[in-house]
A and B are shown apart, each in its own frame.
Chain A
Amino acid sequence: MDAYLVAMLVFAGFYALMALGLNVIWGLTGMVNLGLVGFFGVGAYASALLTSKLAWPMPLGWAAGATIAALAGGIMALIVARLRGDYLAIVTLGFAEVIRLVASNEVWLTNGTDGISGIPGPWRGAVTPQQFNLIFLGIVWTAVAIAFYLLSRASHSPFGRVLRAIREDEDVAAVAGKPVLWFKVRAFVTGAAVLGMAGALYAHYNAFIAPEGFAPLLTIYIVLALTAGGVGSMRGAIIGAIFLITLIEGTRFLAAAVPGVTPVQKAALREGAIALTLILLLRFRPQGLIPERTRTKA
């Protein structure tokens, strides 16, 4: 049970990092990004390959994962410069699928659908699995803390103000003297870097990555986490990630405790409970658990 709890907290950390990254792109700047799992995957593969094939030290691999994902984000921002709303959603979704298909088919590089195994982890083998989980718990939540600190500052800085203005009305932001495209590129780069870092850390925690781990469902989870937590709010992103993990995992035990139903019915009950909770949350608290607030006071 302890091991399970720690593992869930580690995953909550990954989710929180991803929700923070998405919050820069979607929450602050208003660019729908249904391809976030693609950036997560790019970071994971980059770090896994560099550390296992070229024997780079892990911290360098993580930095490379974030950097390459950021680069992909910058290119993405230029490609989708003129797209908004639904169109942006379709193109970003397509991007993530392209990443997944490349990972499945470029066998020489990624080992295809068999995935990459034996990715090194910090002190893995030298410590017990439970100690390893605890070490990683520290690493991932340190990353969350650093990302949260920096992104909160950015969010409440003049930079964040411009991103919010672009989200609300691009023409006004442009007339206010802000080069809109350049701000979008920087928002995408910043958010994708955090997503890539999350992916890199995930690869080294899991020791194994395969294309099927980067399916669109994960994107949907993170979008739900941010929506539940509060779109545009950095604290909301973290609270939303914890909330979502608790909801998904907690209902497992709740459903198990219901007497007189078959296992199949229990599984259905669980999914129903998750859906109902999210619907109720969005109905009665559409602004999220921690609504976005700016700090500028006269």
Chain B
Amino acid sequence: MTGSILEVRGLARRFGGVVALAGLDLTVRRGTVTALIGPNGAGKSTAFQCISGVIKPDSGTVRFEGQDITGWRPDRITGAGLVRSFQIARGIPRLTVLENLLLYGQAQPGESVLTAFLGTAAQKRREEALREKARAIAGRLNLARVLDNPAAALSGGQKKLMEIGRALMADPKLLILDEPVAGVNPTLSAEIATHIAHLRDEGMTVLIVEHHMDFVASLCDPVIVMAEGRPLMEGSFEQVANDPRVQEAYMGRRAVHA
């Protein structure tokens, strides 16, 4: 299946006098691992916040699977199959890794008060199914040994893996990852790239914000470059890296002497 899974048109958002997004257009094609890169302050994180519903855009539209999801609450967007991770691994520190994973399970009837009081069979069945799934995901991401550890006790890299694992628990069609390898050692970074490549091969679409260019080069195609709240260009990593506009956006313009 080809075609786009996510279409962002004219997305704008300002914080007081600061224009974070100034009309962002962005298309993510189904089955790709698309990178969104750009210098600090380009508006990448704000774009993620607006797409995932954590903050509302001032204007513009976000269409996911053909449906207008602009301004939806984050829980509805997750329910629709668009799941994001957080830049700084925001675990729920006092819950264990397993509980963090189970939290992202959908359709758990035990989240109603009455069912929780009664501890119904439906709740137990769903919990068992979610545990099964959590164990499988943890096994895949090398987290099986730390399932009972509190999230606060994980290493930085393990927290990143848990972020991905939690998102997978919600059955995403589109996974958006905010800096999945920031502060992660090169070995683990390569391992995370392999995990993401496998997810893509299984049919998942992934959108990534990342500053590690080795990681982006090895994994992402296409690469979309943002600067000053707008899209600058899109292409393969090679094309993007050799484009003078991109170099200028990152390095700054050479001073012109008049």
A175 CB, nearest partner CB in chain B, Å: 5
Interface residues on B, range: 35 or more
Q: Could you tell me if A169 and B90 are in contact, using CB atoms closer than 8 angstroms? A: yes
Q: Which of A162, A165, A176, A296 is packed against the most chain B CB atoms within 10 Å?
A: A176
Q: Could you tell me if A172 and B86 are in contact, using CB atoms closer than 8 angstroms? A: yes
* Interface residue total, chain A, C-beta cutoff 8 A: 31
Q: Could you tell me if B75 and A297 are in contact, using CB atoms closer than 8 angstroms? A: no
A290 CB, nearest partner CB in chain B, Å: 15
Q: Quick one: closest B residue to A232, CB to CB?
A: B94
Q: Which of A157, A162, A177, A292 is packed against the most chain B CB atoms within 10 Å?
A: A177
Q: Which of A158, A172, A175, A176 contacts B116 (CB 8 A)?
A: A158
Known: A158-B108, A169-B90. A298 touches B52 (CB 8 A): no
Is A124 interfacial (CB 8 A cutoff)?
no
Bound: A2/B188 CA distance, A: 67
A27 CB, nearest partner CB in chain B, Å: 12
- Choose, from A178-186, A221-229, A266-274, the stretch at the interface: A178-186
Name the interface residues of B94-109: CB closer than 8 Å to any CB of A. Answer: 94-96, 98-99, 102-106, 108
Is B111 interfacial (CB 8 A cutoff)?
yes
Bound: A124/B86 CA distance, A: 61
B152 CB, nearest partner CB in chain A, Å: 10
Bound: A162/B92 CA distance, A: 10
Q: Could you tell me if A154 and B113 are in contact, using CB atoms closer than 8 angstroms? A: yes
Q: Could you tell me if A296 and B52 are in contact, using CB atoms closer than 8 angstroms? A: no
Q: Which of B52, B110, B166 contacts A158 (CB 8 A)?
A: B110
Is B56 interfacial (CB 8 A cutoff)?
no
**A contact set with B: CB distance below 8 Å:** 150, 153-154, 157-162, 164-165, 168-169, 171-180, 183, 186, 190, 292, 294, 296-298
Instruction: Please provide the 5 A-B residue pairs with the shortest distance between their CB atoms, ordered closest to farther.
Output: A158-B110, A157-B116, A159-B116, A298-B147, A174-B74
Given contacts A175-B83, A296-B96, A296-B99, 12 further A-B contacts (CB under 8 A): A157-B119, A158-B111, A162-B103, A164-B94, A165-B92, A169-B92, A174-B53, A174-B75, A175-B78, A178-B103, A179-B75, A298-B131
